[in-house]
Structure 1
Amino acid sequence: MKVVYEAANLIDAHLVRHALEETGVPVFLRGEALLGGMGELPLFGLVAVCVPESAWPEARALVETLPIAMPALGAQDEDDPGPLPQPA
């Protein structure tokens, strides 16, 4: 199995999983059962969407077209001020 997508949260992982399964790609969610131990585990990189190595190129191409795939860090447009501050 090879990681095709590092999910931000469980919902994000399931959205990618269902999109891949619709095209016939078998999917395994790594770390899904660990979410209950958040106090003892790292906050990021816990849940990953994995596919067989033979299906990775097809899966990666599909993940890149999904609207939930986040752009790489540092790829933000200079004219975009970023997220607005939230009230406390």
Structure 2
Amino acid sequence: MRRIYEPESLLEAEMLLSMLASEGIDAYLSGRHLVGGVGELPALGLLALLVEDRQAEQARALIGAYNAALVLPAEEPDSYPGSLLC
């Protein structure tokens, strides 16, 4: 297995795991259980995404596209500013 990315948070890690799984890439999150020890452990570098060597380049490309994505401009209705439409 190859370490391909260090997520900033557990939330980002879980989202990336789901994204990779949807593309058929099996990924493993290292350090998931260490997050609760922040304060006694260094705050950075605890989490890491690992994938099989043969899928590493594809996974890096997908994560690169995720990091390069831009936020879409908000399209709020005038009558309800600040609310989300679902």
| Alignment partner, residue 7 of structure 1 | 7
User: How many positions carry a matched residue from both structures?
Assistant: 68
| Alignment partner, residue 18 of structure 2 | 18
The CA distance in 2 between the partners of 1:62 and 1:34, in whole Å, is 26
Alignment RMSD: 1.2
The CA distance in 1 between the partners of 2:11 and 2:53, in whole Å, is 24
| Alignment partner, residue 31 of structure 1 | 31
Identity of aligned residues (%): 35
Q: Which has the higher helix share?
A: 2
| Alignment partner, residue 62 of structure 1 | 62
Residue 49 in structure 1 maps to residue 38 in structure 2:
no
Measured after TM superposition, the shift of residue 23 of structure 1 is 0.6
| Alignment partner, residue 40 of structure 2 | 40
> Which structure 1 residue ranges, 4+ long, deviate > 3 Å from structure 2?
none
Which residues of structure 1 form unaligned runs of 5+?
Answer: 71-88
Rg comparison, structure with higher value: 2
Amino acid at match of 1:47: L
The CA distance in 2 between the partners of 1:32 and 1:63, in whole Å, is 19
Measured after TM superposition, the shift of residue 2 of structure 1 is 1.0
Measured after TM superposition, the shift of residue 51 of structure 1 is 0.5
The CA distance in 1 between the partners of 2:55 and 2:29, in whole Å, is 15
